[in-house]
């Protein structure tokens, strides 16, 4: 392996411009969620949908794995909250299986169903599907600690 090419692989991820460094505090949530529609909120279930936007593509031109993980984090958190959790809590564990690619402008659904919300712990399963075919392209789970106080 030519280690120079690994260096170029990593350096290629950075923009030359410095405009990224000036992005505001807490830009991550809107960066991911801008354009997401809320389709359903029930106790223990939240479904959202979105057209895959240009900004969330990876170098292979499909939805970035980090974006998928972030949807599981954020929409999963909303579902745990909807189940009556005493707080939004803090993440303990997130896992994701990547099954297929979702491409630019594809309509996707993010379907978060709570598996359990107890006094201290909430767990949610999140499925990402292509709206047109119903095909699952990612599935994950998110486990949160729901403290009365905020100490793990």
Among positions 58-117, residues that touch a second copy (CB under 8 A) are 58-61, 64-67, 69-70, 73-75, 77-78, 81-84, 88, 90-101, 104, 115-116
Q: Residue 26 or residue 132: which is nearer to a second copy going by CB? A: 26
Shortest distance in whole angstroms from residue 61 CB to a second copy: 7
**98/117 Cα distance (integer angstroms):** 25
Under rule CB under 8 A, residue 48 binds a second copy:
yes
- Is residue 51 involved in binding a second copy (CB under 8 A)? no
Say which DSSP state 49 is in: E
- What is the DSSP track for 82-124? HTT-SS--EEEEEEEEE-S--BTT-EEEEEEEEEEE-SSEEEE
Minimum CB separation from a second copy for residue 114, in Å?
Answer: 10
| 3 touching a second copy, by CB under 8 A | yes
* Binding of a second copy by 133 (CB under 8 A): no
Sign of CA dihedral 80, 81, 87, 88: positive
Q: State yes or no: residue 129 binds a second copy (CB under 8 A).
A: no
Toward a second copy, which CB reaches closer, 15 or 132?
15
Q: Which residues contact 42 (CB under 8 A, 6 or more apart)?
A: 82
In the complex, the smallest distance separating the C-beta of residue 9 from a second copy, rounded to whole angstroms, is 6
Smallest separation, CB 82 to a second copy (Å)? 4
Local structure of residue 151 (DSSP, 8 states): -
Give 15's DSSP letter: -
Q: What residue has token string 């993010």?
A: 110
């Amino acid at each position: 392996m030519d280690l120079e090419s690994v260096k170029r692989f990593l350096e290629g991820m950075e923009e030359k411009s410095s405009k990224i460094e000036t992005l505001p505090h807490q830009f991550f949530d809107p960066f991911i969620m801008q354009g997401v529609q809320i389709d359903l909120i029930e106790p223990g279930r939240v479904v959202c949908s979105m057209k895959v936007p240009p900004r969330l593509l990876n170098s292979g031109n499909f939805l970035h794995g980090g974006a998928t993980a972030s949807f599981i984090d954020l929409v999963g958190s909303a579902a745990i909250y909807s189940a009556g959790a005493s707080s939004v809590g803090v993440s303990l564990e997130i896992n994701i299986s990547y099954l297929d690619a979702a491409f630019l402008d594809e309509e996707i659904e993010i379907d978060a169903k709570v598996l359990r919300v107890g006094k201290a712990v909430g767990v949610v399963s999140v499925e990402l599907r292509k709206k047109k075919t119903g095909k699952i392209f990612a599935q994950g789970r998110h486990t949160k600690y729901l403290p009365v106080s905020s100490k793990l």
